[in-house]
Chains A and B, each alone.
Chain A
């Protein structure tokens, strides 16, 4: 009698253990990848920003790894900060990031709200709006970038170059318009910049639109029904129901947009480092610069997450 009981208890315990083991089996590819490939990659990347590796073939024909260290330990980082054009490009990149991210998020939210409403040709518009998700990456980005460069060199013949030099509105027109009002020229410049970058903003907000749309779909229609019955206007409904419910998605999208904007190859700082430093052979210095930029962006993400967490509303779940 005692024996059977013992076996039963043993079996029960092993079911949990087996489930835990299954968890390891499922995640094994990733765990192995992280331990065997990813962590060495990160550690070496950090190390390479302090000492430049090179391979030397010895007499026996084996290639030997040799590290060339700069005079001081932080040599490559110090060089990076001494490089005037890197610093100015870094600042330009950060400025671009700060200007672009809010515009992309507001635009994506706006379009997602509209695409979520019932309207004529909604399916078609949805299909068109997500075309950029598929194609406005990597290659197409660099083609657009090259176009913009040669456009400004050759003058404005219409080549279909996206966001080339053909400005939709010019700063002068707007300044005339706003001269009488007490609006700073920085704000005017910002708005003009946004309008002229509308193609980029539309192209870079595809995934964000998808995420917002998914968030909007998951808001229960009964909440909107209750609002309508209580006589809330559309404006009130947006700010008191839609916005709080979608706010977690705003944080997700903000983080995604920042990471996306800064890893993109057309990013001012990234392309500067890659084209002018890395491809010229100063690869350790370039790696140091990548890390400087990455840490700055990480700080921005922390600040954004801090600000966002003050207004994010999490629906209580049970």
Chain B
């Protein structure tokens, strides 16, 4: 009786080994498996899939490899078409030029400061607004959500002229077309010129209007919608206020999501060109930022055959230097990226 009944020999989380009467030996089962076409198709699909993934990875990574290789080449190597990937006369000329002549270090310092400020402010503000939209029913909740979507949809490029005029004559709540004084003019007497400072980008960040902030607010709202209400209710019962509950109970839960948003806002501000060229235009007391690094100044390059090619290499090396800190940060944060998005309950 007992021997005819299937018997579990080993059981783990996702696999069960069963012993029963008439079970083939391992060798026989192996032979059957080899003979079946299904196994072969499966192996073939696996190999093809792996090759495809390798191919796409190659497409993504190859430019980096070749740019890094090119960056060590001397001028003669670059115009010599027999040299590829491995430089014959390696030099550090290009790096010297970018670091000492193209103000890389100034740009790096300013950009680190600007991106960190922006990323911290934007992450916190999108948490705040997302939480308010997800958990509180107040009059105008739907309207605020619609405004979030609108800020996502209207590109700031279309507002370029308006943005530059408004921040060169910054005032709160004034419509220039109607020409009435805004809050700052009432207090201060005149509007303020904010060009060549960090303020325009920081003001946009504080009010949740900076680059793709609508997306962050939307992601945060979706995430907080998935957090059960009971958590806050029990905190309220224990006498915790709304803000304390938010800071002490809710924010720690949202850490993966916050890292995702932080990574996005930090790196998108880092490589941003639109706002930095729009708001930093002066030549006096110039604030160097990343877009200034890859400009190749004419005086530096000897006008000769292939100088446009050499310029390309210099530009690409500058590009590599610009994103190097980002890549390092990405290596540390990348596992949170997928995790954060997965937990956002985006589908809900």
Any B CB within 8 A of the CB of A241 = no
Say whether A111 contacts B56, CB under 8 Å: yes
Any B CB within 8 A of the CB of A236 = no
Contacts A30-B217, A45-B158 given; indicate if A202 touches B348 (C-beta within 8 A): no
Say whether B176 contacts A160, CB under 8 Å: no
Any B CB within 8 A of the CB of A178 = no
Say whether B152 contacts A27, CB under 8 Å: no
Contacts A210-B338, A294-B155 given; indicate if A135 touches B326 (C-beta within 8 A): yes
CB distance from A241 to the nearest CB of B (A): 14
Contacts of B66 in A (CB 8 A): 158-160
Say whether A29 contacts B323, CB under 8 Å: no
Any A CB within 8 A of the CB of B76 = no
Contacts of A210 in B (CB 8 A): 337-338, 341
Any B CB within 8 A of the CB of A176 = no
A119 touches which of B49, B70, B162, B315 (Cβ 8 Å):
B49
The B interface, classified by DSSP as helix, strand, loop or mixed, is helix
Within 8 A of B (CB), among A135-157: 135, 137-140, 142-143, 146-147, 150-151, 153-154, 157
Say whether B347 contacts A198, CB under 8 Å: no
The A interface, classified by DSSP as helix, strand, loop or mixed, is helix
Any A CB within 8 A of the CB of B6 = no
Distance of A215 Cα from B343 Cα, bound (Å): 10
Any A CB within 8 A of the CB of B62 = yes
Contacts A37-B172, A41-B159, A161-B316 given; indicate if A135 touches B341 (C-beta within 8 A): no
Say whether A44 contacts B175, CB under 8 Å: yes
Interface centre among A67, A131, A317 (most CB of B within 10 A): A131
Any A CB within 8 A of the CB of B240 = no
A-B residue pair count with CB separations less than 8 angstroms: 302
Contacts of A137 in B (CB 8 A): 267-268, 271-272
Say whether A132 contacts B60, CB under 8 Å: yes
Contacts A213-B342, A286-B161 given; indicate if A138 touches B273 (C-beta within 8 A): yes
Distance of A65 Cα from B61 Cα, bound (Å): 52
Contacts A135-B267, A150-B309 given; indicate if A130 touches B207 (C-beta within 8 A): no
CB distance from A292 to the nearest CB of B (A): 10
Any A CB within 8 A of the CB of B94 = no
CB distance from B347 to the nearest CB of A (A): 5
Any A CB within 8 A of the CB of B345 = yes
Any B CB within 8 A of the CB of A226 = no
CB distance from B182 to the nearest CB of A (A): 8
Interface 9-residue window, one of A86-94, A97-105, A257-265: A257-265
CB distance from B133 to the nearest CB of A (A): 6
Say whether A146 contacts B173, CB under 8 Å: no
Interface 9-residue window, one of B22-30, B97-105, B124-132: B124-132
Say whether A29 contacts B208, CB under 8 Å: yes
Distance of A26 Cα from B129 Cα, bound (Å): 6
Any B CB within 8 A of the CB of A70 = no
CB distance from A36 to the nearest CB of B (A): 4
Contacts of B264 in A (CB 8 A): 133
Say whether B128 contacts A259, CB under 8 Å: no
Closest partner residue, chain A, to B215 (CB atom): A256
Say whether A265 contacts B347, CB under 8 Å: no
Any B CB within 8 A of the CB of A232 = no
Any A CB within 8 A of the CB of B39 = no
Distance of A117 Cα from B48 Cα, bound (Å): 14
Any A CB within 8 A of the CB of B263 = yes
Say whether A259 contacts B348, CB under 8 Å: no
| Contacts beyond the supplied A53-B176, A259-B152: 7 A-B pairs with Cβ under 8 Å | A22-B242, A41-B162, A130-B334, A210-B337, A217-B342, A259-B153, A287-B162
Can you list 6 residue pairs at the A/B interface with Cβ under 8 Å?
A53-B176, A159-B67, A159-B313, A218-B345, A249-B346, A287-B162
Closest 4 CB pairs of A and B: A33-B207, A26-B132, A23-B136, A160-B66
Residues of A within 8 A of B (CB): 18-27, 29-38, 40-45, 47-48, 51, 53, 55, 62-63, 65, 67, 111, 114, 117, 119-121, 123, 125-135, 137-140, 142-143, 146-147, 150-151, 153-154, 157-162, 198-199, 202-203, 210-211, 213-215, 217-218, 248-249, 252, 256, 259, 262-263, 265, 270, 274, 278, 283-284, 286-287, 290-291, 293-294, 298, 301, 317
